[in-house]
């Protein structure tokens, strides 16, 4: 279990990025962490990794406080950052040097990931493209078998076939004891993978809050996604945009009418109406925001 309790953090004095943020994440799921540019998605992952420290409140990962950076905590968490440096060594050397830090590392799976991504262990990391380096790091993270796996914009730099591979491999690497958190703004890349969904939005005094934490099932039970020829003033529409044949909308769904989730439009609806979204989902969400 991961718990953010009354978390406050900011890079500049008097300008909090988060203030009183609460969020609970349970094992066995692939959480999608979405938010606008500058919302602090990467910051949350660094706080969760113990690379940054809260100004107030605390974070707990199981029995550990990330800020303590205990070895037993670090060997059970892996972060795939958006920006990274890899040494000028062969892939096999990189694995042999770094895998011993993770007691549950699966060498056979890592070899399989390398083959899956069309690479060989003898290739030098400094001679690979950015996308190929990203694949090595993603494969390594999956092979660690850590209880917590964090990925920051993992599909950046991947081509379309590689994104499909990524979704399949991540889905196959999750079990009831593992929590995966993927931060992204490429919502279309991960629409079929992430569940539950966590969306950040701006709150009063210009700091961010968790405006939505819900499963796909909960979202489609409370919201309706579809195409209408005209906007109906009698319908509680949260977001609309022009589309071929009319308007694509996200509306409140009091009757439970079935529809298919559109993650991009859900994101836009949350940014447009964060307070109303929180009201609609407060009965099922485990987050509590002051």
Per-residue pLDDT of the chain (290 residues; tens, 9 = 90+): 999 999 999 898 878 889 889 999 999 999 999 998 888 899 999 999 999 999 999 999 999 999 999 999 999 999 999 989 999 999 999 999 999 999 999 999 999 999 999 999 999 999 999 999 999 999 999 999 999 999 999 999 899 999 999 999 999 999 999 999 999 988 888 988 999 999 999 876 568 889 999 999 999 999 999 999 999 888 999 999 999 989 999 999 999 999 999 999 999 999 999 989 999 998 544 333 33
- What are 205's strand-pairing partners? none
- Tokens representing 69 are 């950076």
Q: Read out DSSP for 119-181? A: --TTSBGGGS-HHHHHHHHHHHHHHT--SEEEEESTTTT--HHHHHHHHHHHHHT--TT-EEE
**Residue showing tokens 């400094």:** 126
Q: For position 16, what pLDDT does the model report?
A: 83
In angstroms, the CA 83 to CA 205 distance is 30
Q: In angstroms, how far is the first alpha carbon of the chain from the final one? A: 21
Q: 105 in helix, strand or coil?
A: coil
Contact in structure between 80 and 72 (CB atoms under 8 Å): no
pTM here?
0.91
Q: Which residue, chain included where needed, has tokens 């934490």?
A: 213
Give the angle subtended at the CA of 135 by the CAs of 133 and 139, to the nearest 5°. Answer: 120
Q: Backbone phi, then psi, for 156, in 5-degree steps?
A: -60, 130
Q: Which residue has the tokens 């447009």?
A: 272
Copy the structure tokens of residue 75: 């060997």
Burial class (CB in 10 A: 0-12, 13-18, 19+), 262: buried
The answer to whether 183 and 45 are in contact (CB under 8 A) is yes
Residue 206 is predicted with a pLDDT of 65
pLDDT at 191 (0 to 100): 87
In the structure encoding, which two tokens stand for residue 196, read together? 């539950």
pLDDT of residue 204: 61
């Amino acid at each position: 279990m991961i718990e953010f309790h009354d978390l406050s953090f900011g890079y500049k004095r008097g300008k909090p990025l988060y203030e009183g943020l609460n969020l609970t994440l349970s094992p066995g799921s692939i959480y999608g962490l979405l938010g606008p540019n500058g919302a602090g998605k990467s910051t949350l992952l660094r706080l969760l990794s113990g690379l940054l420290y809260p100004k107030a409140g605390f974070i707990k990962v199981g029995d550990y406080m990330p800020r303590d950076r205990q070895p037993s905590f670090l060997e059970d968490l892996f972060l795939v950052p958006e920006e990274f440096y890899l040494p000028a060594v062969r892939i096999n050397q990189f694995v042999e040097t770094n895998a011993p830090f993770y007691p549950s590392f699966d060498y056979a799976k890592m070899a399989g990931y390398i083959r899956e991504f069309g690479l060989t262990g003898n290739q030098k990391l400094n001679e690979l493209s950015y996308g190929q380096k990203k694949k090595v790091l993603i494969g390594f993270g999956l092979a660690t078998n850590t209880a917590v796996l964090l990925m920051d914009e993992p599909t950046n730099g991947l081509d379309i076939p590689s994104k499909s591979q990524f979704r399949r491999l991540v889905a196959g690497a999750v079990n009831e004891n593992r929590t995966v958190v993927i931060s992204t703004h490429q919502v279309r890349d991960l629409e079929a993978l992430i569940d539950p969904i966590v969306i950040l939005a701006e709150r009063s005094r210009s700091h961010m809050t968790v405006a939505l934490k819900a499963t796909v099932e909960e979202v489609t039970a409370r919201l309706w996604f579809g195409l209408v020829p005209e906007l109906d003033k009698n319908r509680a529409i949260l977001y609309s945009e022009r589309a071929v044949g009319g308007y694509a909308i996200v509306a409140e769904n009091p009757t439970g009418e079935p529809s298919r989730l559109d993650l991009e439009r859900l994101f836009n609806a949350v940014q447009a109406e964060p307070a109303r979204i929180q009201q609609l989902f407060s009965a099922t969400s485990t987050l509590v925001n002051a």
